[in-house]
A and B are shown apart, each in its own frame.
Chain A
Amino acid sequence: MASSKKPTRFRVVGKAHRKVDATAKVTGVTRFADDLFLPRMLFAKLLRSPHPHARIISIDTSKAAALPGVKAVLVGKDLPIPFGILPVSQDEHALALDKVRFVGDPVAAVAATSEEAATEALDLIAVEYEVLRAFPDALDAVEHPEPAIHDYADAGNIHKLIHLEFGDVDRGLAEADLVREDLFFFEGNTHLPMEQHAAVADWSPPPDGKLTLWSATQTPHYVHRALAKVLELPAARIRVIACPNGGAFGGKSDPFSHEIVVAKLAMITGRPVKITLTREEVFYCHRGRHPTLMWVKTGVKKDGAITGMHFKSLLDGGGYGSYGVASTYYTGALQTVTYHVPRYKFQGARAFTNKPPCGPKRGHGTPQPRFALEVHLDKIAEQLGMDPAELRLKHLVPPNSLTANWLRIGTMGLGPCIEKVVRGSGWKQKFKQLPYGKGIGLACSSYITGAGLPIYWNAMPHSGVQLKCDRGGGVTVFCGSTEIGQGSDSILATIVAEVLGLHPFDVAVVTGDTDLTPVDLGSYSSRVTLMTGNAAIQAAERARDVIARHAAKKLETPIERITFAEGRVFDVQEPERGLTFAEAVQLAEAAEGTVGTVGSYTPAPSAAKYRGAGVGPSPAYSYSACVAEVDVDPATGIVRVPKIWIAHDVGRAINAATVMGQIEGSVYMGLGEALMEEMAYRGNRNVVHKIPSLLEYKSPTTLEMCDVVTYVVEDPDPNGPFGAKECGQGPLLPVPPAVANAVYDAVGVRIDEVPITPEKVFKALRRKEKGEAARFGPARFPDIAWPEPTRVAPPWDGGDGRAAEGGRGRKKAAEGARR
């Protein structure tokens, strides 16, 4: 997709650039959603359920509506059309219709002239509930199908059941020299962006009938679709503007109740309406990491070569679908992309429970199985008497290959990543050689650079860019991508500047506005640099071609010799013969009219054709290796992490400084998940959130954050723009297992569960003292009535990427694509 005329030396790409929005951010000028104040604006508040699971018998809003200052009150029947991010789980209502499914589920909404009046009005709304039995966790939901949380599910309270088998795993295990089984648990945790969600809606009444919504969203295109559906407005009359997000990490990628509610309130009142969630409400929005119970059985030869792997996961989904079906597939998709797995079987289940819905958090469904796999391999290495780094290095997936589940691997830089962290950390002098209490652990990972398929089935590009060249020499790039702090606006400016020979600050960037910008699917699945980057290259090259044509004519030079650099358009063999970029644009504009171009990007079709193959394929996979050093206090179980070495294969850094920031930020978030972050609920059927506050939800402060040594590995991938792959999510993944492996090296106990809290370490140490299993972790995986497997022969068994039996892969291809 990228240019055939790729420059071999870059002028802009690869250097450390100040981001195009850096000045606005350090001066406080950036306008986040809650910074918008419109004349006559009303303030909205949501009444939320105090019960985890209940039927709504009646709602009386008359007293609230009569309160001075209150302009409108909404309940579920005012917005009866369901929505949800995935076509297969349209199971949410803006306000509960007849049932609430978690403490915090929105039930009614008020718009008033002040936040105080709206809050007071909430207290005057009388809701009568019939309380139902609540389900506090996935095990309970699996074992009790009634009362059903939803009227749709694969079985009882099991939302989704998956069973995929690639080759004969039993045969693979029979060929092994060692077969090992392990159980792991990854506790749920949340994104915790510093910005609370906020949205402002404005309505221009008929005959315009136009709605504008500003929101802290990562996915304006999907919000656009949800608003059109629920409000029954033509999409052409709805404008969604994604404000810069004050942190998101996946937590702002669903269409939300509060966005639909303020839109409806603006339509009813004819006034702008704002809502800003409290921090407590942000915990109720959640969509964070699924708590996941995992069982893994792997067969290996004496040299560590894997002969077969069987992986089971059980996800605690919370009250709604969200991205959960995709999350469930993701817990089984990427086990095959790091080390060669010739035969692979995956069984995944997601249960509905009465907690805030889980969804995509940084790494979406893959940090949990990666934790399990990397600790499991550490144990296998020990049993085989192999160095864990050597075991991994010996069995890397080859570049340019297909995996057992038909994922197409391009460049694969994991080997150099492992070598860098091993050398940098002094691994060989430290592993198994540090004094008791000190330890070192290694883990690796991989992540997708964008999902190969869109969330809803369609044949259109995933990313579009428009470019306008101004006769003054400036260029504006329009793209639907959303700046969430990752630097996506700067990526666009950098890439356009590289192609057109400009400075990134010469490029104006307009993003995330459904009226102004072509669709980009959103800032999720680490897709933005690759997809918008390729679209931007295409648009910029088309503009370059138009401008070059007229510059060549003017300079009387063959067009092949026209070069763009330093704001000039010139003859590469006689650089003094040239024009300014502005002059060249003027020539093109005089001859052909306004200079504007478009570019778009669609990933190549996946090799996988079976049902469920919508999750896993990607244009490119990033790779990371991590070594963590820990200090464990055996007296208290407290684990401190002084230092982490991380190497990340980013393909090619577009902006070196933002790559560093993404890697360090990923390590930070992985460290939080490893040591302390958890969504905890009170241990009874009330299922009340224990800690909906920033004080009680522990996240690393400056005092807990470790030192980080970062190595950027560049192995340019032909599918990436100038070779770039992702770096915003992948480097999180190896951190929790590296810490767990280091704890074992330090004190000889296995903590098969994150977060690795002092209590767990202490208990495991006590067990070890008593001669019991030196371990803390789950004890069983429940019996689940799995469906018959979808059997797909791996490439080396002569398969074609389709399912062998039942035709599920053929008949339901479109459904399989819905992820």
Chain B
Amino acid sequence: MADAKAKIALELNGEPVEVAFAPHKTLLEVLREDLGLTGTKHGCELGECGTCTVLVDGTPVLSCLVLGLACAGHRVKTVEGMAERGTLHPLQEAFAELGAAQCGYCTPAFLLAAEALLATDPSPTRDDIKLALSGNLCRCTGYIKIYEAVELAAARMRGEDAKPAPETLYGVQ
């Protein structure tokens, strides 16, 4: 409590940032409490649910298990950094379009984990997607709309003029 604050510099969502915080704080706490970025959520703060996932140097990490201090000099990306100049990221667009965000609480983490997947594999199979997202829990969707949204976004990011299949939105006729 009486700890002297530590100060670090990092690249946050593409911008240089300096932040001072109690040195025991996790990246999750620094983001939410000291930087005001509450888009990063928490479901357990024990590294079990994946809800606090952010990207550090492009890799998904559980921000509840990373000390803020460990991020000095690194690139951190949160959900607030996904849309650019008022345009949603294709993943955000597809999640919104298909209803892959129901309560929306786990959504930032899924978006970032999926972004990391597509950065290394622009054409993942359904099984690749399942594996890449297996560390993230969602209780609303049954994951299906999430898979479909990742596939839709991936196709669009490859330059395809992709549209959701009718059975995705209306069921099998």
Contacts and interface: CB of A to CB of B under 8 A. Distances in A.
B48 A694 contact: yes
Contacts of A34: 38, 42
A27 B145 contact: no
Nearest to A666: B142
B92 A194 contact: no
A95 to B, nearest CB: 24
Contacts of A473: none
Contacts of A671: 142
B45 to A, nearest CB: 7
Interface core residue of B38, B39, B82, B144 (most chain A CB under 10 Å): B144
Interface core residue of B38, B88, B106, B133 (most chain A CB under 10 Å): B38
A195 B43 contact: yes
Given A28-B79, A194-B49, A664-B144, A701 B134 contact: yes
A20 to B, nearest CB: 11
A654 interface: no
Interface string B118-142: 0000000000011101111111111
Nearest to A670: B142
Interface core residue of B82, B105, B167 (most chain A CB under 10 Å): B105
A705 interface: yes
A766 interface: no
A21 interface: yes
A660 B102 CA distance: 11
B1 A114 contact: yes
A515 to B, nearest CB: 24
A487 B103 CA distance: 8
Given A26-B104, A694-B49, A246 B41 contact: yes
A711 B40 contact: no
Contacts of A19: 96, 99, 101
The A interface, classified by DSSP as helix, strand, loop or mixed, is: loop
Given A22-B96, A24-B104, A668 B141 contact: yes
Interface core residue of B95, B131, B142 (most chain A CB under 10 Å): B142
Nearest to B33: A37
A538 B80 CA distance: 39
A667 interface: yes
B134 A703 contact: yes
Contact of A28 (B97, B108, B134, B172): B108
Nearest to B111: A26
Q: For the side of the interface on B, what is the size category?
A: 35 or more
A363 to B, nearest CB: 15
Interface residues of A, number: 68
Given A21-B104, A194-B103, A27 B38 contact: no
Contact of A32 (B36, B78, B105): B105
B49 A705 contact: no
A657 B82 CA distance: 24
Contacts of A653: 170
B106 A194 contact: yes
A502 interface: no
A660 B170 contact: yes
A656 interface: yes
Nearest to A708: B144
A661 B40 contact: no
B32 to A, nearest CB: 8
B139 A192 contact: yes
Interface core residue of B80, B140, B147 (most chain A CB under 10 Å): B140
Interface string B43-68: 11110110100000000000000000
Nearest to B2: A68
B64 to A, nearest CB: 11
Given A669-B139, A703-B134, 5 more contacts: A23-B92, A193-B139, A664-B144, A694-B137, A710-B171
Interface of B: 1, 32-33, 36-46, 48-49, 51, 78-80, 82-83, 88, 92-93, 95-99, 101-108, 111, 129-131, 133-145, 147, 164, 167-172
26 contacts: A16-B170, A18-B96, A26-B93, A26-B107, A27-B92, A32-B41, A35-B38, A193-B139, A246-B105, A246-B106, A248-B103, A485-B102, A485-B104, A485-B140, A656-B171, A657-B169, A660-B168, A665-B141, A668-B142, A694-B49, A695-B48, A699-B139, A705-B143, A705-B144, A708-B144, A711-B172
Interface of A: 16, 18-19, 21-32, 34-35, 37, 69, 114, 116-117, 191-196, 244-249, 278-279, 424, 484-487, 653, 656-658, 660-661, 663-669, 671, 693-695, 699, 701-703, 705, 708-712
